């Protein structure tokens, strides 16, 4: 069986399949498109199709192996998975719980400290998506900058496009990145990408730079965040679900208004200019010598 970590494999599991080679009957998703529980939404919520003879709409979570069936028309896969497995499933915590944390415009509205993107509980849940099946390829490379611990701390979850792929996604700003190099720092890669998105602000990145709780922050535009992002190092990266980042402007010389982590990255003292040495054969030195010699001649006379 294909790895059900891959979203497309979970979607393909809902395609009609013959029960046996001799039989003409097939197993397919029994509910119509009017249901909230359709193959696309079920797969995004972490489920793949595992029908039984008695439960023809049975599905299984790829992460926690929880099985659910008897779906009603108004059952939302994200809400059901979150209510049933919030304390035992990492995917329910990072993906399905996000439906409760974010409003329709993409603003982070959760007030529970455990649901904040930078909380230890959320970081642990994101880390579990990398380590559950020991499939994150860069953990096997000693000293790799994009190891699973740094990726989870920077806000990424593992969302491979195929077996062995290194695609990771931030569910707060809806970006997917792949092709991680050994010298990459996940947080330095994540932060500059805010410059290119005009729809909403990444809740995790802003929470690292502001001491005010996220649900009290109100931004009329991205200008405040762009000023911070401009001071961060740029990078080249392939972006799957969003346009590529725009080139960053060079940071100004002083950043007194920026938070302290960014002040450390900005050079505060200008470079010292080397003064040009004057040679003995310099024109000014020659004039000085000729004047002195004329004065000596006049005194001798």
Confidence band for 263, pLDDT divided at 50, 70 and 90: very low
Strand 67-68 to 59-61 pairing: antiparallel
pLDDT at position 76: 96
**What mean pLDDT do residues 85-114 have?**
86
Structural domains of the chain, ranges and CATH numbers in brackets? 1-13+35-88 (1.10.1170.10), 102-210+227-238 (1.10.1170.10)
pLDDT at position 22: 53
Q: What is the DSSP string of the chain?
A: ---TTSHHHHHHTTS-EESSSS---EE---S-TTSS--HHHHHHTTEEE---SS-TT-EEETTT--EE----TT--HHHHHHHHHTTT-HHIIIIITHHHHB-TTS-B----GGGSTTSHHHHHHHHHHHHTTT--GGGGSTT-TT-HHHHHHTT-EE--SSTT---EEETTTTEEEE---TT--HHHHHGGGGGG--S---HHHHHHH--S-GGG---SSSHHHHHHHTTSPP---EESSSPPPPPPPPPPS--TTS-HHHHTTS--SPPPPPPPPPPTT-HHHHHHHHHHHHHHHHHH-
Higher pLDDT among residues 295 and 213, named by residue: 295
**What mean pLDDT do residues 232-254 have?**
41
Confidence band for 103, pLDDT divided at 50, 70 and 90: confident
**pLDDT tens string 137-179:** 999 999 999 999 999 999 999 999 988 899 999 888 888 899 9
Q: Order of strands, edge to edge, in the sheet holding 47-49?
A: 47-49, 59-61, 67-68
CA distance 90 to 109: 21
**What mean pLDDT do residues 115-123 have?**
90
| Residue that the structure tokens 């003409």 belong to | 24
**pLDDT tens string 28-71:** 999 999 999 999 999 999 999 999 988 999 999 999 999 999 99
Share of residues in the chain with pLDDT > 70 (%):
59
Please say if the pLDDT value at position 212 is more than 50: no
Per mean pLDDT, which range of 130-134, 182-186, 202-206, 278-282 is the poorest? Answer: 278-282
């Amino acid at each position: 069986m294909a790895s059900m970590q891959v979203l497309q494999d979970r979607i393909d599991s809902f395609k009609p399949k013959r029960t046996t080679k001799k039989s003409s009957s097939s197993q397919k998703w029994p509910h119509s498109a009017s249901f909230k529980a359709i193959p696309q939404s079920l797969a995004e919520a972490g489920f793949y199709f595992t029908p039984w003879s008695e439960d023809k709409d049975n599905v299984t979570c790829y992460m926690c192996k929880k099985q659910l069936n008897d779906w009603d028309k108004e059952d939302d896969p994200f809400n059901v998975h979150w209510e049933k497995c919030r304390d035992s499933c990492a995917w329910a915590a990072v993906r399905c719980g996000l439906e409760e944390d974010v409003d329709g415009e993409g603003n982070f509205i959760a007030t529970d400290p455990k649901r904040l993107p930078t909380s230890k509980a959320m970081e642990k849940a994101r880390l579990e998506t990398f380590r559950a099946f020991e499939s994150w390829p860069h953990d096997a490379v000693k000293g790799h900058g994009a190891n699973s611990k740094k990726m989870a701390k920077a806000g990424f979850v593992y969302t491979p496009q195929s077996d062995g792929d290194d695609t990771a996604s931030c569910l707060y700003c809806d970006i997917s990145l792949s092709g991680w190099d050994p010298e990459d720092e996940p947080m330095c890669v994540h932060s500059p990408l805010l410059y290119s998105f005009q729809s909403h602000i990444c809740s995790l990145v802003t929470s690292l730079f502001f001491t005010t709780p996220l649900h009290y922050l109100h931004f009329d535009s991205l200008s405040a965040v762009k000023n911070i992002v401009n001071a961060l190092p740029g990078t080249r990266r392939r972006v799957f679900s969003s346009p590529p980042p725009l080139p960053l402007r060079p940071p100004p010389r002083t950043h007194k208004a920026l938070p302290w982590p960014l002040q450390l990255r900005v050079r505060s003292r200008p470079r010292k200019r080397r003064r040009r040495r004057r040679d003995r054969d310099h024109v000014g030195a020659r004039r000085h010598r000729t004047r002195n010699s004329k004065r000596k001649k006049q005194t001798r006379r």
